[in-house]
Structure 1
Amino acid sequence: MRRSQFWAGLIAPLIAYSGILTAIYVNRSWWRLTDNAISDLGKVGLQHNWLLNVPLVLTAVLAIYYAAGLLEKARNKVEKIGIWVFIAGFVFLALIGIFPEGTSPHYYVSWGFFLTASLGLLIAGVGMGLAGEREMLYFTVALFVLAWILTIWAMRTFKGVAIPEFIGAIAITVWHYAILLKIKPDQ
């Protein structure tokens, strides 16, 4: 993995969360964590929708570049397939910013992000386990199961989907940084 890919992976989530938090702050007069979706902050016609949409696209581009470096480090087909599915999740993340709420593909690309990114990390984690990293396998499976249990609970508990979305995004971010901590970038 190139040093630039490592740094892209390091800063990508920070850009996403900075954009989300800035958009929440700007729209705090009407946006509620328990009643809305994160995507409401980027919907078509909203004055400052770019505060969410631009960082999501930028994050996706950086994350894809980073994940391409992960492919070089993959040790088996299962791990590679998982990383490719994880990359597909980031393509969907970019599409969330390109097709914001209020466009017909938005619902599908939003679900696409959460499903493919979480499935990709699970498959990659299984591949890591097959390569001998048992603790990464156990961590990945535990994180995946816990995130889905909490997400389903939150979807049944709250009117909006922002809390389930944050649960999914945070789980993806935690796994991402756990992987990043193990990587030593090339010079």
Structure 2
Amino acid sequence: MSHTESSAVSLARLSGYLAPVVTLGGILLAIVVSPSFSWSESALSDLGVAASTALLFNGGLVVGGLLGLPYAYALWHDGPGGLGRLTPLSFALAVTAMGLVGVFVSGTPLHFPVALSFYLLVSTTLALDGLARWSAREGRVAALLGVAHLVGWVVWVSGVRFGTGLAVPETVGAVVFATWVLGLSPAGLLSSRVR
């Protein structure tokens, strides 16, 4: 690998590592600032509508989505071939959908489709990575998290929940995705290709 290519991969990894930090940071700051947020009654997207929190929440999603896009290159470079080539594509679609949640705020016609796409793409990305890297511990954990994330949503939809709000399963999904990006993914900090 040339020095230029090595630098590009390193920058793509760094950009990817910053994406969940910025996104979760924006979400957490918006929660702290919000006078009305409730874990049991609110959706995270409610933070994107209120004047006091909209910039923090939506800005975190949009900037996080933009920072995440170069990480697809690192995933392509560091990941396995074959089925593993679908992981960066699914990831790029997931972070694009995440950013669009900050553009199409709750109450607009495109909000639900982009939010649903984001969470489905999180599970898809983790499952694809898990299948492609099944022989590696990180791959099996990624697959398990992808399936668990999807099962969590199925359980929530079936009526087992902490109230009427979506904040808890949404936050779990965001943390699962951040954990995969930062640690478990082929370009993550725990990957033998990166260490």
For residues 110 and 152 of structure 2, the distance between their equivalents in structure 1, rounded to whole angstroms, comes to: 26
Structure 1: 5+ residue runs without aligned partners?
none
Map 1:140-159; keep pairs closer than 5 Å: 140-155=142-157, 156=159, 157=161, 158-159=163-164
Structure 2: 5+ residue runs without aligned partners?
1-5
For residues 34 and 111 of structure 1, the distance between their equivalents in structure 2, rounded to whole angstroms, comes to: 20
Confirm whether residue 63 of structure 1 aligns to residue 33 of structure 2. no
* Larger helix fraction of residues: 1
Contact kept? 1:37, 1:160, Cα under 8 Å: yes
Contact kept? 2:16, 2:67, Cα under 8 Å: yes
- The equivalent residue for 1:75 is 80
Deviations 1:148-185 (A, max 9, x none): 33333345212111111111111111222222121428
CA shift, 1:47, in A, is: 4.1
State the SS of the aligned residue for 1:163.
helix
What amino acid maps onto 1:184 in structure 2? V
For residues 76 and 4 of structure 1, the distance between their equivalents in structure 2, rounded to whole angstroms, comes to: 21
Contact kept? 2:126, 2:145, Cα under 8 Å: no
Root mean square deviation of aligned Cα: 1.8
Identity of aligned residues (%): 25
What amino acid maps onto 1:102 in structure 2? G
Contact kept? 1:86, 1:117, Cα under 8 Å: yes
- The equivalent residue for 2:36 is 30
What is the number of residues matched between the two proteins? 180
What amino acid maps onto 1:71 in structure 2? W
TM-score (norm 1): 0.88
Deviations 1:3-39 (A, max 9, x none): 2112112221111111001111111x21101101100
